Structure formats: structure tokens, C-alpha cells
Amino acid sequence: MIQVAINGYGTIGKRVADAVRAQPDMEVLGVAKTRPNFEAETAIDKGFPLYAAIEEREHLFEEAGLDIAGSVDELVADADVVVDATPSGIGAENKSLYEEYETPALYQGGEDADLVGVSFNARSNFEDAAEADHVRVVSCNTTGLSRVIAPLREEYGVEKVRATLVRRGGDPGQTSRGPINDILPNPVTIPSHHGPDVETIFDDLDIDTLGMKVPATLMHMHSLNVTLEEEVDAADVRELFADESRLFLIPEHMAIDGSGKLKEYALDAGRPRGDVWENAIWEESISTVGRDLYLFQGIHQESDVVPENIDAIRAVLGAADAEESIETTDETLGIGL
Amino acid sequence: MIQVAINGYGTIGKRVADAVRAQPDMEVLGVAKTRPNFEAETAIDKGFPLYAAIEEREHLFEEAGLDIAGSVDELVADADVVVDATPSGIGAENKSLYEEYETPALYQGGEDADLVGVSFNARSNFEDAAEADHVRVVSCNTTGLSRVIAPLREEYGVEKVRATLVRRGGDPGQTSRGPINDILPNPVTIPSHHGPDVETIFDDLDIDTLGMKVPATLMHMHSLNVTLEEEVDAADVRELFADESRLFLIPEHMAIDGSGKLKEYALDAGRPRGDVWENAIWEESISTVGRDLYLFQGIHQESDVVPENIDAIRAVLGAADAEESIETTDETLGIGL
């Protein structure tokens, strides 16, 4: 069994922990957290050994009545692999710790691409991670873009991608973030970082991205344009996408008009936390005008990278090939709405 | 003096009435309204003769203590021109009334393009209105797109336009509209009506548009891509736009990050209702990648068509040429932030 340490038990970390537990070939060795908040409480309730990410704060956990299994150093030393799910920039600070104990590590998309040699998306470049000890699982938006671009490149060739990313202002729990009643070009300058980030997956891709922020918390929404190398029927693209397990085509009859109903559907379906691990593509939106393909897709910022982290664990340890890993991950999590 | 009747005294009508009053060559003959609400009260306070748009409802105005100058038939009969600013679809119903009295009429962008022979944007096709008695002033979004496309076509030639329109859910007063905390592809199908609508102004233009709705009320935001016929420096595009009176380039030093601060700036500047009649283009966002031009622009849905209605009055009556009319309108309203 692969012993997985999870450093950072917030939005991503707690979901990765549950996903690891669901795998037949892995177990959660422990999770590390900086503060004894509600998530720390839940970790204990679930039986995940809890480690203090910062030694000086151990007493805060004790005062809150939460048992600490040890220091993060011990956790890293004993693990086969660490998933670093700390806030952006903290992963970079943690890298020397992982190197000290020679524990392979996965970082999240908020870290700079040049922190590590390999940026990872399971569908697009699984094999690249086999040669690296430090791998970055790209961000939710980059994951969402890569999953769509990969099959299009293989099937038709892609001349250029142009995407407008209408981003949620914050996650549901991020009460300090905005905007309220506003639409912000964000960043105002073009391109946003997303285009160059997708190029860490496809290094020869021509892509321009524009970002905005709006007063919503549930999901991001992409307005995507892909100029293909040949003219294609929209129906063919729908068929191509239907074969991709991590692309969910929302059928018209479901009458899902936005991210609110989509999340409600995921909750109704009994998914943990109402997670939508797949790109949610509105089937009716898939359109072609000459070589220009257009579509809308919802990207659940809290969860679409979770299966990618699971696959990255296997990739970096050489524990499975892409097909085998993706199939196991999808089956155990229940991916494929 | 051109005698102007305004049928419909809501978001657009009340602004057009104020703008007509500010012109040296026009006056407001009267405004017609269906209900004695706060706007009817303000019309009386401003000294605009108030007409009942629906005869059977005259008693409601009397009961509210508001004096009615007469019926909408009398208003239309006496006017040189009618600006129909009624809700979408009602303009079409009113057309026969205007024809009955042979009064030239302007309609708003919510009406079908085929209701009339000519769709109008002052910067793009002023002269076309001279030969028509019934003219449609295109919608706020189509106006915003046309104003940018016209100079680009003239200067560089346009191969293709792709735009994502992130639209406010409703105007500040539209309390029944949504969404709350959501991002809706709207319409889900592609293209949105905006692209074909822009083609009523430029009939040979290749344009695809995608629409969304978000929980904001202040302005729309466009993520615009124009593939030009030649490679151009972003600095040259900025200079080109700086010469256009109805394009306001937001300088970086103003630190205006979205529509909220933009509206606040317009209010601070003493503009009536904080109206932003110009396209508000973030100067930093104007970027070129090869022949692809990108930018973000805010479109104030309540007011950007107001100067266009004023110009359309002169155009349809042959009272001035484009340059003369636009200059007068801009000067009297204070356009050019």
C-alpha cells in the first residue's frame, strides 16, 4: 500500500485525503494542518492521524482537545509520497523539507511552474511524471482546459485556443473575498496566467486567455474558442468528448442552466460535498463555425484536481500506467455523471 | 425646434428625455407612461408633459394626483418624431400607431431588426437612417461592439470578431431578476443574438458572440478578440481609440478595477445618474498577439444608447450630418471623460 502524507488539509487536502482512502492501493498515513479549526476536528472524526504543520502551534491543538500524532517532519519521513495542498507559495517553502527526507512530492497549481520540472495533467502527460520526484498538479482552470484540448489536438489538431475564464470570486468558505455586485477584468492585462500555464502541459500550443472575477462562489465558467486545423461537425466533437471520462456533457433535457443547478445535481446524486470532478460542458453549447469550435464549461475549482492528484501519486511512483490509474481513480470515486 | 415625443419613460426613456432637453435644436413635447410610479412623479417635477400610454389607465394617474396632458395618440400626432423606449416587443405593437399619424419613430434594440429597414449606430452608419422613417437604435451591447469595430475596420480591416459578453443579471432597479451567486451561460447555444445583431450594422462582418449572465447590476463586461487583417502594435490601437469620443480609455493610474469604481467615478464627476455613455476600455488590456487584438470593455446598459438616440433623431429627420450631430450631442451631454 502506498503511504500518502497530505500536508495542508483545507479545500483540496481534505478532498484528496478522502479520495486516497477510496483507492485500493493507497492509504492516508496522516494529514498536517496549521490550525485546530473545523477541518482539523473532522480529520480526527474520520480517523486520519493529525499532524501539526508548525511545531510551535502544537499547543493550540492540545488546548482545543485535538490529539496530535506527531510533527510534520515525522510524517514526511515515513511517507512514500507527500501531497502538498498548502496555500499558494507555501508549497515552495516546503520543498526543502521533502528533499531532506527524499520523499517524492506533489504540489498544487498555485505554485510556480519552475518550482518543479514537470507540470501534470493525467489525460495529457501522465508519463512525464515518471521521471520526476517533484511534480506540480496544474490548477483547476488549467486542468479544465487541458482535458478538452488533449483530445482535440489528437483528433483534429489545434491551431489556436482563445478562452475567457469567468472566475468565481472566492470559494464558498472564503468570506473575506469579493467582489460584491461587480465584474472585474482580472487580471486587466492580457494574457492571464492561465494560457502560459496550459503551455506547461502542451509546450507548442498557441493559446491566449483572459480572466475575470464575478460575485459567485460555486464554480468557474469558461467561454472557450478552439480554432481547429480542419472543419469539423459539432456532432463529431460531441461524440469525441463523450468518450472522455472526465468530460461530462450536460444533456439539454436536464435543464441545468448554470453552476447552481449543476452543484445541486451533484448533491442529489449523493456525491461527497457535491463535488463535480469532471469538466461540465453544456452539450448544446458545442458549436462549430468553420474551423472555430465554441463551448461553455463549468469548472469546479474545489474538486476537479482531486482525481488528478490521485493519478499523479501513481505516476510519480511508477505504480501504474495512465490508462490503469485513470480507470481505477474514476471507478473508486464514481466519476462519470 | 424638433418636437420629440418619448413613449415609455423607464430606464432609457427618462435618460433620453433629459438628453433631448439638453440639445439646442430639440425639445420634449411630452412623455408617455403606463403607470404612475416614481418615474412618472419625477417627469411631472421636471416639467415634462405626461401622457397616459394606455387610455384605460388614465384614472390611475388621476388617483395618484398626477396631471395627464392627454392621450398618447395626441402626443404622437403632434410630434416631429417619437422615441419608443417601451419594453422589448411593445415597440413592435406601437408601430402601427406611429404609421397612422405618419410620425417617424425610433425603436430600441430589444425589437427585432426586421421590424424596420435600418438599424442604427451613429459612428458606423448614421447616413443610412436618412432614408427611413422607422429606425432601430441597436442595443447597448451591439452599440458597444459597433463603436470599437468601426474604427478598426476603417484603419486595419477586420478578419473576424469573437466576443464573450459577461452580462449583468438585471439593472439596479430590476429586483425580480437573477441570478444570485451563479454564472449562467446565457444563451447556452452559440452564437448569442449579439453577433447577428452587430451584422445589422456591418453586413459583411464575421463575428461570433457568446453570452453569460452573472450576479451584478452595474454594467456589462466584454472580453473582446478582433483578428485584424494586419499585425498592429497595441500602442497604435490605443492611439486610434483615443481619437474616438465615445471610447473612454481608462488610464492605469486611475486604479479603476471594475464597474463599481467606474460608476463611482462617473458619479464623482457629477454625471447625471452616474451614467457612462462611452465604452469604458481598460487601456492596459489593449493587447496584440500577432493579428489578434484583445481588450476588456465595460458597457453601461442603462445609458450608452442615449447619445445614439439623440443622433438618430437628427439622422432620421435629416437635421444634421453625422459629424455635426455627434459633436453637438457629445458637447451638450459632456461626453469624453
Residue identified by cell 492585462 is A189
Question: What's residue A192's pLDDT?
Answer: 98
**For residue B24, what is its C-alpha cell?**
439646442
Q: What is the DSSP string of A91-117?
A: HHHHHHHHHHTT--EEE-TTS-GGGSS
**For residue B283, what is its C-alpha cell?**
487601456
CATH number reported for the structural domain that contains residue A179 in this entry? 3.30.360.10
Same domain as B276, residue B227: yes
Question: What's residue A337's pLDDT?
Answer: 64
Query: By C-alpha distance, which of A319, A310, A323, A325 is closest to A130?
Result: A319
Same domain as A88, residue A40: yes
User: How close, in Å, is residue B244 to chain A by CA atoms?
Assistant: 21
Question: What's residue A287's pLDDT?
Answer: 98
Scored b (16 or more CB within 10 A) or e, A73-98 reads: eebbeebbbbbbbbeeebbbebbebb
Residue B227 contacts residue B198 (beta carbons within 8 Å): no
User: How far from chain centre, in Å, is Cα B68?
Assistant: 28
A294: contact with B, CB 8 A cutoff? yes
Same domain as A292, residue A267: yes
Distance between CA atoms of B119 and B99, rounded to whole angstroms? Answer: 18
Instruction: Indicate yes or no: CB of A298 within 8 angstroms of CB of B183.
Output: yes
Instruction: Indicate yes or no: CB of B208 within 8 angstroms of CB of A184.
Output: no
**For residue A229, what is its C-alpha cell?**
486545423
Same domain as A163, residue A108: no
Q: Which residue of B has its CA nearest to A184?
A: B258
**For residue A27, what is its C-alpha cell?**
492509504
A71: contact with B, CB 8 A cutoff? no
Same domain as A18, residue A118: yes
User: How close, in Å, is residue A331 to chain B by CA atoms?
Assistant: 30
Which of B162, B168, B190, B261 is most worth mutating to test chain A (most A CB atoms within 10 A of its CB)? Answer: B190
Same domain as A105, residue A181: no
Worst-scoring range by mean pLDDT, A130-134, A151-155, B252-256? A130-134
Judged against a pLDDT cut of 90, whether residue A336 lies above it is answered with no
Query: By C-alpha distance, which of A129, A104, A117, A90 is closest to A5?
Result: A104
User: How far from chain centre, in Å, is Cα A175?
Assistant: 21
A265: contact with B, CB 8 A cutoff? no
Q: List chain B residues with CB under 8 Å of A219.
A: 183
Same domain as A116, residue A84: yes
What amino acid is encoded at A298 in this protein?
Answer: G
Helix (H, G, I), strand (E, B) or coil at A293: strand
Question: What's residue A72's pLDDT?
Answer: 96
Residue B220 contacts residue B165 (beta carbons within 8 Å): yes
Distance between CA atoms of A48 and A43, rounded to whole angstroms? Answer: 5
User: How many helices and strands in chain B, by DSSP H and E?
Assistant: 12, 16
The answer for residues whose C-beta is within 8 angstroms of residue B37's C-beta and 6 or more apart is: none
Could you give the residue numbers annotated as active site of B?
140
CA distances from A235 to A157, A240, A242, A283, A287 (A): 17, 9, 10, 10, 8
- Express each pLDDT in B289-320 by its tens digit: 999 999 999 999 999 999 999 999 999 999 99
Helix (H, G, I), strand (E, B) or coil at A83: strand
Judged against a pLDDT cut of 90, whether residue A250 lies above it is answered with yes
Of A75, A140, A232, A280, the active-site residue reads A140
Instruction: Indicate yes or no: CB of B212 within 8 angstroms of CB of A223.
Output: yes
Which of A188, A222, A226 is most worth mutating to test chain B (most B CB atoms within 10 A of its CB)? Answer: A188
CATH number reported for the structural domain that contains residue A80 in this entry? 3.40.50.720
Question: What's residue A233's pLDDT?
Answer: 98
Domain count, chain B: 2
The answer for residues whose C-beta is within 8 angstroms of residue B111's C-beta and 6 or more apart is: B88, B89, B91, B92, B136
Same domain as A318, residue A290: no
Query: By C-alpha distance, which of B214, B226, B217 is closest to B296?
Result: B226
Same domain as B262, residue B183: yes
CB atoms within 10 A of CB A265: 18
**For residue A266, what is its C-alpha cell?**
451533484
Question: What's residue B336's pLDDT?
Answer: 83
Longest dimension (CA), chain B: 65
Q: Which residue of A has its CA nearest to B167?
A: A183
Judged against a pLDDT cut of 90, whether residue A330 lies above it is answered with yes
Judged against a pLDDT cut of 90, whether residue A271 lies above it is answered with yes
Mean pLDDT per segment of 10 residues, for chain B of length 337 residues?
98 98 98 96 97 92 94 97 97 98 98 95 97 96 98 98 97 93 97 97 98 98 98 98 98 96 95 97 98 98 98 98 98 90
Active site residue A81: no
CB atoms within 10 A of CB A154: 11
Q: Which of residues 152-181 of A touch B (CB under 8 A)?
A: 162, 164, 166, 168, 179, 181
- Express each pLDDT in A293-326 by its tens digit: 999 999 999 999 999 999 999 999 999 999 999 9
Q: Which residue of B has its CA nearest to A210?
A: B223
- Express each pLDDT in A51-89 by its tens digit: 999 989 999 999 999 999 999 999 999 999 999 999 999
Same domain as A100, residue A236: no
Question: What is the ipTM score, two decimals?
Answer: 0.92
Q: List chain A residues with CB under 8 Å of B289.
A: 191, 208
A296: contact with B, CB 8 A cutoff? yes
Same domain as B194, residue B123: no
Share of chain B above pLDDT 70, in %: 100
Residue A162 contacts residue B208 (beta carbons within 8 Å): no
Same domain as A55, residue A173: no
Q: Which residue of B has its CA nearest to A192?
A: B285
| Pairing of the two strands B207-214 and B158-168 | parallel
Q: Which of residues 188-247 of B touch A (CB under 8 A)?
A: 188-191, 208, 210, 212, 214-221, 223, 225
Give the domain range for residue A194: 140-299
Specify binding-site residues of A for NAD(+).
11-12, 110, 168, 301
Question: Which 8-state DSSP code applies to residue B240?
Answer: H
Question: What's residue B337's pLDDT?
Answer: 64
Across chain A, what does the average pLDDT equal?
97
Distance between CA atoms of A32 and A29, rounded to whole angstroms? Answer: 10
